[in-house]
Structure 1
Amino acid sequence: MMEAHPLYMNKGEKDAEFLRDWKESLLAEPYRSYLYSYPHKTAYGELGSGIELSKLWSAEPAETFFLYMHIPFCGARCGFCNLFTLPDKRHSVHEQYVNALERQARQWTPYVGHKAFARFAIGGGTPTLLEPALLERLFHIASGIMGLDSQKASISVEASPETVTEERLRILKAHHVDRVSMGIQSFVETEAAAIYRPQHPLEVERALELLKLQRFPILNLDLIYGLPGQTIESWMYSLGRALSYEPEEIFLYPLYTREHTIVKPKDIKESSETDNRMAHYIAAREELLSRGYTQYSMRRFAKADASSVKSLLPYGCQEEGMVGLGCGARSYTRSVHYASRYGVSRSATASIIADYVAAERYDTADYGIILSIPEQQRRFILKAILHREGLELAAYEERFGSRVLDDFPELLLLTETGLAELDAMLLRLTDEGIAYSDAIGDWFISPEVRKQMEGYVLA
């Protein structure tokens, strides 16, 4: 493991050799982990006797909040998935869960209802797995209990092809949803089968036709590259099929194999003599840029005019002030991140969900992580540099009262190896740096957080 604070003082040939070795070591494992938040959830632990939410949220400085609801149910668990979700289609189970979510919302409103929600997202799992009446209830909980103004908030909902129906889409439309995100992963049936995803291309096409008829302002489609048996030709075929529906956004994910996922690293190696994920990424990136898409991160590509039609309330890109309702949802204040316990196996997720449904009170944070100032600084940096916009040096100094390169001089390794660019105002990854975002994110994890992650036992 590379040191987070390498010491190299001599100039000239020795430095050049050090930088070359450092970069080669960093890029040797481009797909170490997907760090979509910091600190990672496996760094969470018991918060002593718990923190009262009234105290936690009264001091939160964010001007507006982000409301998130987690629906931890899917029709089936895909072979690559390590999210907090349970394959369960039973309406009675879903109804008990939504009842608990409403109970939690009523208890949390006094703590978080004093500021407007700029964004609202329903994720999972598969929220559209819920029967229409329960799906409708989620919006009533958000607006009727939490105080969401659906005319001013950006609203996003995740879906899967088999759950897309005219009735469900009418509900989303009626509640002013402006972004629908659907995971497709592949248009090739054998590739979907290789990741244990029960999906047929005709089902995907049917869902896409219905979505386009509703004319949501933003349609996002997710695809995965590096699937077992996937070739560059089949990958580009799937991308082409997705582009034929002219989505406003496309997210491209490399296949990851993790602890407790069904697909294992050997499944990728046995399907191909070499790992072609970077070649797949480069080919797709070139195609998307040629089609007029702008790249905003390693994963996100969007049309330049892909924005909500609403006059939105401002919300900081750092995702502080995130109010996470439901089992598996995470909540972020500036200094504390908290959630329910995390599991992937069926027995673990079922047990955690059962405890959540049976609970009467949800007014303390008892599992999560308290962020020191250095960890808040690392989060601020990562949330900025892993996106095309980059890190505004003045914003960091205004927030923390110090200069980022004084606090983290190792960031200069990125600029000295061509992975980032630095000027008087901005630190931003280059195209090469964006391509290796996952390696850079993993490298920047603090030794303290990494130790907690390594000590975590996943159930």
Structure 2
Amino acid sequence: MTSSDTSRIRSWADHMRADPYRSYLYAYPHKTAYRELEPSRPLSELWAQETAETYFLYMHIPFCGARCGFCNLFTLPDKRTSSHEQYVDALERQAREWDSFAGGKPFARFAIGGGTPTLLEPQQLERLFGIAEEVMGLDTRQASISVETSPETVTEARLRILHAHHVDRVSMGIQSFIEDESAAIYRPQKPLEVERALTLLKSEPFPILNLDLIYGLPGQTVATWLYSVERTLAYEPEEVFIYPLYTREQTIVKPEDIRRVGADLRMDCYLAARDRLREAGYIQHSMRRFAKPTVSSAKQLLPYGCQEDGMVGLGCGARSYTRELHYASRYAVDRQATASIIADYVAAERHDRADYGYQLNKAEQQRRFILKAILHTEGLELSSYVERFASQALEDYPDLHPLLENGFATKTEGILRLTDEGLAYSDAIGDWFISPEVKERMEGYVFV
């Protein structure tokens, strides 16, 4: 290695450490890289070619009580029962089309997300499970089932439905136990409401309770952040997810809202929570996910690898993944645009073609495979990469070497794995590894 190479790598590492919070890369390619597909693709053709042995079924419910200040998801504040009923009608129509190109493969996982699925009245929530089981053929005895909720929508009636359909994971966003911090992100949430919901969830426990928190909120300190962490630990959830606050295009909270209240404490908060959760016996699985060592479902689950594709998305806003094509409905954050997209979905007579998405060539499939592995503590098993792509990851992507040379990753026993410091800079690493082509499309995305 020449002195100029060493200098370049050091410069790269310094840049990574100076800007750890660039973007939250929860999927690759990101939805802002999706575009109109010309020509559109028949779903029967796409799924006939899918190689995954088991599938992941996802239902998206794009309604919530209010849009939080940090949220840029596809969701619409709408509590009207009539809107929800029309939407579930459309989701059922879409599900019934699936039978013509299903391929007979079972679902290993089922998740209902949003939005807030439990905003639906019990009758409509019950219908979602009926669609999954009776129309899509979901076997609840063999599938891991996860449902998202929010404190104000946790009721005995809704929990009875979840139990009746063998839900084994409930995930609830809390973000903060301090009312002023919740108000700073435009989240109308009272601590007593959070405590009520948690008490009810613990009285009728599920195998896995996951709680979400956000750090870096306007006005938050490390001490107040740790207060929320301690209140969370008091309920002994099986999983805890901690998220740094991001401000994105069209979110209500803006970068200046954070700068106005003082220094950026996100890394300090992350390190403090990481150490406290580890001390409490939680195992770190990624920058965000911490779980008890014994966390598991009581079911005999079907296998489904984290790097597999085969995700079937139902509902407006849901994404579907085959190995070569990711597709979805249009994406928006603006209320009027989101409402218009949902109205088009509800009115549509057919949902049998993919007309909006991203076609993954081999190089993008490789990047996706690597990213989904290295951003988790399990790491990238290099032999699995060879088995799938018939080439070597470190030869295909020499940009991975700086991770090793700067202490962000190690390579032991054939696994490339992030170090503690690498995990702390996961978001910067994920952003850095996006291909130039995908990044160009993301930067050129026009929000409607």
What is the TM-score when the length of structure 1 is the normalising length?
Answer: 0.97
**Take 1:319 and 1:432, find their aligned partners in 2: how far apart are those partners?**
27
Structure 2 runs not aligned, ≥5 long: none
Give the C-alpha shift of residue 424 in structure 1. 4.5
1:214 corresponds to which of 204, 217, 223: 204
2:166 corresponds to which of 165, 169, 176: 176
**Take 1:194 and 1:151, find their aligned partners in 2: how far apart are those partners?**
42
**Take 1:343 and 1:109, find their aligned partners in 2: how far apart are those partners?**
29
- Contact 1:248 1:306 survives alignment (8 Å): yes
1:349 matched to 2:335? The reply is no
1:318 matched to 2:336? The reply is no
Whichever residue aligns with residue 110 of structure 2, its letter is: F
- Contact 1:156 1:177 survives alignment (8 Å): yes
Give per-residue Cα distances to partners, 1:40-98, cap 9 Å, x unaligned: 00000011131000000011000100000000000000000000000000000000000
Q: Percent identity?
A: 71
1:450 matched to 2:439? The reply is yes
**Take 1:194 and 1:455, find their aligned partners in 2: how far apart are those partners?**
30
1:89 matched to 2:79? The reply is yes
Tell me the residue number matched to 1:300.
289
Tell me the residue number matched to 1:382.
371
**Take 1:364 and 1:115, find their aligned partners in 2: how far apart are those partners?**
20
- Contact 2:47 2:103 survives alignment (8 Å): no
1:101 corresponds to which of 85, 91, 96: 91
C-alpha RMSD of the superposition: 0.8
Tell me the residue number matched to 1:195.
185
**Take 1:405 and 1:21, find their aligned partners in 2: how far apart are those partners?**
21
Which stretch of the first structure deviates more once superposed, 420-429 or 82-91? 420-429
1:437 matched to 2:404? The reply is no
Give per-residue Cα distances to partners, 1:100-127, cap 9 Å, x unaligned: 0000000012212510000000000000
Match runs of 1:129-278 below 5 Å: 129-272=119-262, 274-278=263-267
1:396 corresponds to which of 385, 392, 412: 385
**Take 1:399 and 1:78, find their aligned partners in 2: how far apart are those partners?**
40
- Contact 1:319 1:332 survives alignment (8 Å): no
Give the C-alpha shift of residue 403 in structure 1. 0.7
1:309 matched to 2:298? The reply is yes
Whichever residue aligns with residue 84 of structure 1, its letter is: F
Give the C-alpha shift of residue 162 in structure 1. 0.2
Q: Which runs of 4+ in 1 moved over 4 A?
A: none
1:421 matched to 2:410? The reply is yes
**Take 1:113 and 1:156, find their aligned partners in 2: how far apart are those partners?**
24
1:279 matched to 2:272? The reply is no
Whichever residue aligns with residue 284 of structure 2, its letter is: Q
- Contact 1:66 1:319 survives alignment (8 Å): no
Give the C-alpha shift of residue 29 in structure 1. 1.2
SS of corresponding position for 1:271: coil
Tell me the residue number matched to 1:24.
14
1:116 corresponds to which of 106, 128, 132: 106
1:360 corresponds to which of 349, 359, 364: 349
Which stretch of the first structure deviates more once superposed, 43-52 or 153-162? 43-52
Whichever residue aligns with residue 102 of structure 1, its letter is: E
Tell me the residue number matched to 2:63.
73
Match runs of 1:328-343 below 5 Å: 328-343=317-332
Give per-residue Cα distances to partners, 1:270-327, cap 9 Å, x unaligned: 111x101000000000000000000000000000101111110000211400000000
- Contact 2:52 2:308 survives alignment (8 Å): no
- Contact 1:113 1:147 survives alignment (8 Å): no
**Take 2:255 and 2:69, find their aligned partners in 1: how far apart are those partners?**
11
**Take 2:421 and 2:405, find their aligned partners in 1: how far apart are those partners?**
13
What is the TM-score when the length of structure 2 is the normalising length?
Answer: 0.99
Which stretch of the first structure deviates more once superposed, 418-427 or 148-157? 418-427
**Take 2:55 and 2:365, find their aligned partners in 1: how far apart are those partners?**
18
Give the C-alpha shift of residue 19 in structure 1. 2.1
Whichever residue aligns with residue 452 of structure 1, its letter is: R
